[in-house]
Each structure stands twice: as structure tokens, then as C-alpha cells.
Copies of this chain bind each other. A is one copy, B any other.
Amino acid sequence: MAYDTDAVRRVLDAAKGRDSLTAPEGRAVVEAYGIRTPGEGLATNPEDAVAVATAIGFPVVLKIVSPDILHKTEAGGVIVGVADGAAAADAYRTIVRNAREYDADARIVGVQVQEQLTSGHEVIVGAVTDPTFGKIVAFGLGGVLVEVLKDVTFRLAPTSLETARSMVDGIKAAEILRGVRGAEPADPEALADLITKVSDLVTDFPEIAEVDLNPVLATSTGATAVDVRILVDPAAAKTPVRFGRDEILASMNRIMRPAAVAVIGASGEDGKIGNSVMKNLVNGGYRGRIHPVNPKAADILGLPAVKSITDVPGDVDVAIFAIPAKFVPQALEEAGAKGVAGAILIPSGFGETGNHDLQDEVVEIARKHGVRILGPNIYGYYYTPEHLSATFCTPYDVPGGVALSSQSGGIGMAILGFSRSAQMGVSAIVGVGNKADIDEDDLLTFFEDDPHTHLIAMHLEDLKDGRAFAETAQRVSKRKPVIVLKAGRTSAGARAAGSHTGALAGDDAVYDDILRESGVVRAPGLNDMLEYARGVPLLPTPQGENVVIITGAGGSGVLLSDACVDNGLSLMHIPGDLDEAFRAFIPPFGAAGNPVDITGGEPPSTYRNTVALGLSDPRIHSLILGYWHTIVTPPMTFAELVVDVVEEFRARGIHKPVVASLSGDVEVEEASEFLYRHGIVAYPYTTEKPVAVLGAKYRWARAAGLL
């Protein structure tokens, strides 16, 4: 149906200056969007109440209507189960008396008389204006129990019908709505329809800050919003400024692949940041032009220095700032005038130390000149395809397909150390620091098209514009896995709660739902993010959900199965013919089924035959290997045979993810490294990690629609 936007506009205009709508106003607004509400009428005296109630039919509920009373129950302003006319008149009088006692100055418009619905599932549908994501819709089961268990799910508004259906199906207690123990089910279509209407309403009228339909009664034939609360706030209509995709790419391409960089504050003195940056550029092997800028030096590291960036002959793409914060504005004016695309602000002393004015000032200067800022308060960035180490840390030189970013310098250093230690091939490591300008969605936009990048992993503590990130991630994650470590997961969401939905929208619950909907794979911790980044790109994309465990140790098989369940992987049900095929290779007391337990003490040929079978049968999509160290098949023998058989199948065009857990004496460490180097994600002394990496691959592949 078409929405009656004029009706909503009239109500909102009439409510200007207030921060909430009255119940009748709220009802008028949602009815204009085709949302069913109970029969009701406004009574302004006891006789009225009797007449309205009689017209609606008993039982009815009576509720105070006053712009000054938001918490009606607290004010004694609600009476339910009013069964006849006499009771209706009494209830009217009681409510008005209670309201006056609660707040003698409250303006009382009257008493709302409402049809009392007696059956259906209580659910809550709402919308709030999230500081990170903007308009979001919420759906959950209602009632006291669910309020305690906080079983609610969130999506960006506007939402499609399909997404709204995923909300109805996505709460933990979804089974209840399908009708258990013979109870009447709720109509999922009616609920999905209601959710999209609420999401359209807040999208069309962004000054609506919050909508709270609580409870909604859902039956097998429809859904009725019993109580409507709407908060309005002109500030809720504000949206952040954004750059277009082409603008972002134009800047980011020059920043990541500069033909010339200037180092403002370059220094020949050991221990200075401006010296470390120069050394890293030179020693890192950057082949573009490097211009040290220093008013007092003639040359630095053998390169001619200039007094100001203005004096550089020719164009400069990137200016790296290695000077104290207070000197940045002037130098940025000069860099802007020179036409740089990016200003890399290493110095601290901006927003993170409370100096927001200085940070705002440099952003303003940058905007004026069309310069994008990375930072401030960062270690810099690396882009290995250009051998570019624009940082005061140490150079990094193992090229590869993983792009990483971090909001914190400490985490950036952990990324660097882990990468070097694990010899992880990296395309880029970027510090975003205070994110005064360039943030994760700018990076995503660049990495999306960067042919050197196959996976993006990001550490973040917040998002400046969560909606821009979600929309970009949604697109990028279809092509490349996006891993996110969201720090501050557990901080109590200290949001001022103006409504039920608001109170339920704790920061992390919203992040979790919206990141998942965007196809992002969320890492539970720092080490997980690093391991996913290292392992996920090595694994080919699985062609289906059938995972098979082949193990030499029954004990590992049990733990690997646990890990599969923990990571949402499906252990394949092995059909009879395949079971027989496996049995042909394993001892009679071994177990086929899944895990395939080849038993300990088997020779290399048993591992080889079963792994080859797993790779050759098209019904199997992924393999998890559990190795048990024995004299008969030592660790390196196992590793070499697995690499051999996997490479044989790769040569035939058969690519399946293979991960391995190695149990044994210390030689399994070398064997695991050998396997890893050959694209088999393998770990010693853990059954959890290889399965977690495979699980991350699957989560991505599912979200990207590849399964």
C-alpha cells in the first residue's frame, strides 16, 4: 500500500518543539504507514469513556493522554481488563486522579480507550537513531523474560522484506514464533511487513529519532501494534558528509602509489622520527622520488633537502608529517597549496589528548585544499607493491595479499611483529589513528580494486560513519574477505535510553548484527584476527558445506568435531558407498563415518589414500586432518605426503580447503610450518585454530553468496 506521508507530516509539524508524540499522534503516524493498531478512541469525560468502550467492545484498556507524562504506568495512568461500562467510568476517574497526583502541572488531553487484545505473541518492533549507524530497526520477542535475556536483532533502515524476514527468523527464540507445543504460530510475513514499514517511516522522516511498538501482538493472521511511542528530534535527521567512490579512489590511488613523497621534518639525526621515516623510505626500497623537507639541512641521507614543500621541483603526491602538532597547520597549508593528495599526520597531540580544536583546524585546511588526511597520531603506513614504508617503525618487505589496518599504534606493532614472525605476505598495513578524515571505508574502497590485495583485516574501536562502512563492506566482501576485530566489545553501552528499543540497542549487539549483515567476518580477538588474515586467503573457496575429518587419533577427531560445531561447520553425513570406499583403506577396527578414524600406527599410505579419496570425491568440499605422531609415519613424512597429494589434485584443477591439527612431539612444529607454506593451514598442539580458520573462510563464503 502507499504511505500517507502527508498525514505524518501534519502530525510532525504540529509536534514541532516537542521531543515526543502523544499516543494518538503516534497511532496516527503508524496508521498512515499501514500499521494496524487496536480499535480505540479518546475520551474526555467518564461518559465518553463508556460510549467509546461500548463501541469498541469489551474488555478495554484505558490510558492517560498527556504530553507531559511519558511513563504512563508509573503515573498510574493505565488500567487494563476493564470489563463493562461502569468499570470504564470508574477507570477514567481513577486515571485522571492518579495523573494529577503524579504531576499537578501535567496537561491532560484525555484518556485513551483501547481494544484489549487477548491472544498472540508479544513482540517488539522499533527503530532508533544510532550514533554510529544512523537509522536502525529492531525486532525481538516482547515480555519480561525477553527483556532480561535481551533477545533482539538489528538491521540498517531501510530494510528489504527479505532482510526483515531474516530478523524474524534470527532471534534466539524464533522457534516460539513458529508455534511450539501446539501454540498458534505468528505470521512471519505480517511481522516482516511491519518491520519494513517502521524502517520506511524513519527513513522518510529522519527527524523521527525513535519508534517503539511495544508490545506488538502477532497472531497467525496479522500483527497489531498495541502501544506506540515515538520520539522526535531535528538532530536525528543529520547525516555525515561523504565522499563519492571516484573521489575516494582518485585520492587513495595517489596516496598508496605515490610518484613522489615529501617528508616534512625529515632529519639526519638518529632517534628522530623524521630520521626513521627517511631511513624506512630509502631502505624499504621505495622507487619514487623522496623529498626531505627541513629548513636547516642541505641534504639528508644523501638526498637534497628543501626548506619548504613549496620548493620541491615537480608534483608531490604525499606529504608525511614528522613535526610537532602545533606546526602542522602552517605546513599543511603549504602542502595543500602544492597539491598533495594525502597528508600523513604522524604526530600526536590532537583529538586524543583533548586538542579537538587543532584537529578540526587541520581538517578544515585539508578540505579547503582537497587534501585527504591519514591520522593524526599514527605510525604511518606500508604498501609493499610500491616498497613503501612510510612509517617511523621498521620496514616490512614480505609482499602478499593481506591488507591490514589498525586504529591503535600498539595493535599496529602487533600486526607487524606477527606478520614478520609468520612470514605473512602483506599488501598494506595502515594506521588510521584518530581518523580525522580517512577511515576504514576509504581503505575498503581502495583495497576493493587493488589487484595486490585479496583479504582485508581491520582492527577498530569505533566507526566514524558506520553506515558508510557497512554499505562499502557489503559490496567489497562479495569479492574479498573482510575481517574485523571490533575492540570495546564489552563496554557497557552507556546510551541514554529514551525507549525500550533504545535500551536494548547496546553498542555491541548493533555492531554484531550489522557487521554480519555486511558480510564482515568478525574476529573474537587479536590473535584470531591475525590467524584469519594469514590463513583465510590460502584456502580455496569451498564449493559446498560438506566437511570431512580424517584423523589418525580418535581423540583429536572428537575435539575437531567439537570445533566444527563451535565454528558452524557441517560434518558431512557420509553416504554408504563413500563409507565403503574409506573402509577399504583403514583397518577393520578403524571407524568410517565422520570423523574417518584411520587409527594410530598406520603407514603413510593410509593417510595418502584417505586424503586422496577426500579430495577426489566431489561430494566432499573440505578436509580437516588430525595427525598423530608415530614412528611409522613421522611428522615430516605426513607433511610431505599431504602436500604431495594436495598439489597433485591442484594440478588436476581440484582445489579444496585442507586444514590440519598436528599432535606429537616438537617435530610437528616444523611439519606444520611446511604444510602452511604449501597452503595447508596447519597448527601443532591445537585442534581449535585450524578449524576456526576454516570456519572464517566458510562464514565469508556464505555471506558472499558463494555457497
| Residues on A facing B (Cβ under 8 Å) | 141, 144-149, 172-173, 175-176, 180-181, 183, 271, 276, 348-349, 352-354, 393-394, 406-411, 413-414, 416-418, 420-421, 459, 461, 485, 487-491, 524-528, 530, 551-556, 558-559, 561-563, 565-566, 589, 600, 626, 628-629, 631, 663-669, 684-689
Name the B residues within 8 Å of A141 (CB-CB): 145
A-B contact pairs, 26 of them (CB 8 A): A145-B145, A145-B176, A149-B172, A149-B173, A348-B589, A410-B551, A410-B555, A410-B600, A410-B626, A410-B663, A411-B555, A414-B556, A414-B684, A417-B664, A417-B685, A421-B669, A421-B684, A487-B555, A487-B559, A488-B561, A488-B562, A525-B563, A525-B687, A526-B687, A526-B688, A527-B688
Given contacts A410-B552, A589-B353, A685-B526, contact A558 B394 (CB under 8 A): no
Beta-carbon contact of B631 and A271 below 8 Å: yes
Given contacts A145-B173, A276-B631, A349-B589, 4 further A-B contacts (CB under 8 A): A148-B180, A413-B629, A413-B664, A417-B667
> Closest CB of chain B to A417's CB: distance in Å?
5
Cβ-defined contact, B148 with A408, below 8 A: no
Number of copies: 2
A665 touches B413 (CB 8 A): yes
- Residues in B with CB closer than 8 Å to A421 are 666, 669, 684-685
A666 to B349 CA separation, bound complex (whole angstroms): 28
Chain B hits for A145, CB < 8 A: 141, 145-146, 173, 176
Measured between C-beta atoms, what is the minimum distance from A671 to chain B in Å? 11
Bound Cα distance A461, B687 (Å):
15
Contacts of A408 in B (CB 8 A): 553-556, 558
A447 to B562, CA, bound (A): 29
Find out whether the CB atom of A417 lies under 8 angstroms from the CB atom of B663: yes
Known: A527-B688, A553-B410, A629-B417. A180 touches B147 (CB 8 A): yes
Pick from A175, A393, A527, A558 the residue with the most CB of B within 10 Å: A558
Whole-angstrom CA separation of A459 from B589 in the bound complex:
23
Q: Which residue of B lies closest to A151 (CB)?
A: B149
Q: Which B residue's beta carbon lies closest to that of A461? A: B558
Residues of B within 8 A of A271 (CB): 631
Min CB gap A700→B, angstroms: 22
B555→A665 contact, CB < 8 A: no
Write the nearest CB–CB distance from A224 to chain B, whole angstroms: 21
List, in ascending order, chain B residues with CB within 8 A of A561's CB: 488, 490-491
Write out the residue numbers on chain B whose beta carbons fall within 8 Å of the beta carbon of A667: 417
Whether A394 contacts B665 by the Cβ 8 Å rule is: yes
Q: In angstroms, how far is the closest chain B Cβ from the Cβ of A231?
A: 21
Bound-complex Cα distance A686 to B354 (A): 29
Report chain B residues within 8 Å CB of A552.
410
Decide if A555 touches B459 in the complex (CB within 8 Å): yes
| Nearest B-chain residue to A590, judged by Cβ | B353
How far, in whole Å, are A393 and B101 apart by their CA atoms in the complex?
A: 83
Distance in angstroms from A351 CB to nearest chain B CB is 11
Q: For the complex, what is the distance from the CA of A554 to the CA of B183, rounded to whole Å? A: 52
Contact A686 B525 (CB under 8 A): yes
On whether the beta carbons of B628 and A409 are closer than 8 Å, the reply is yes
Contact A556 B688 (CB under 8 A): no
* Structural contact, B685 and A489, CB atoms closer than 8 A: no
Q: Which of B348, B409, B663 is within 8 Å of A414, CB to CB?
A: B663
Say yes or no: A664-B414 contact (C-beta < 8 A), given A172-B149, A686-B526.
Answer: yes
**What's the least CB distance linking A151 to chain B, in Å?**
8
**B contact residues around A348 at 8 Å (CB):** 589
In the complex, the answer to whether A393 meets B665 with C-beta atoms within 8 Å is: yes
Chain B's closest residue to A410 (CB) is B553
When chains A and B are docked, how far (Å) is the Cα of A353 from the Cα of B147? 51
- Chain B neighbourhood of A409, CB < 8 A: 553, 555, 600, 628
Residues of B within 8 A of A527 (CB): 685-689
A562 touches B663 (CB 8 A): no
Q: How far is the CA of A173 from the CA of B416 in the complex (A)?
A: 44
Which of B149, B407, B553, B628 contacts A555, CB < 8 Å?
B407
Give every chain B residue within 8 A of A149 (Cβ-Cβ). 149, 172-173
* Bound CA–CA A22/B418 (angstroms): 66
Whether A628 and B410, one on each chain, are in contact in the complex, defined by CB atoms closer than 8 angstroms, is yes
Nearest CB in chain B: distance from A349 CB, A: 8
Determine if B148 and A556 form an interchain contact, defined as CB atoms under 8 angstroms apart. no
Asked if residues A411 and B489 are in contact (CB atoms below 8 Å), the reply is: no
Contact assessment for A668 and B525 in the assembled complex, using a CB-CB cutoff below 8 Å: no
A418 in complex: contacting residue of B489, B528, B685, CB < 8 Å: B685
Complex Cα distance, B395 from A665, in Å, reads 11
**Which residue on chain B has the smallest CB distance to residue A182?**
B73
Docked CA distance A561–B274 (Å) = 34
Q: How far is the CA of A628 from the CA of B415 in the complex (A)?
A: 12
* A393, A525, A663, A669: residue with the most chain B Cβ atoms closer than 10 Å: A663
A677 shortest CB reach to chain B, Å:
18
Interchain residue pairs A-B with the least CB separation, the first 8: A408-B555, A410-B553, A353-B589, A490-B565, A414-B663, A527-B686, A525-B688, A410-B628
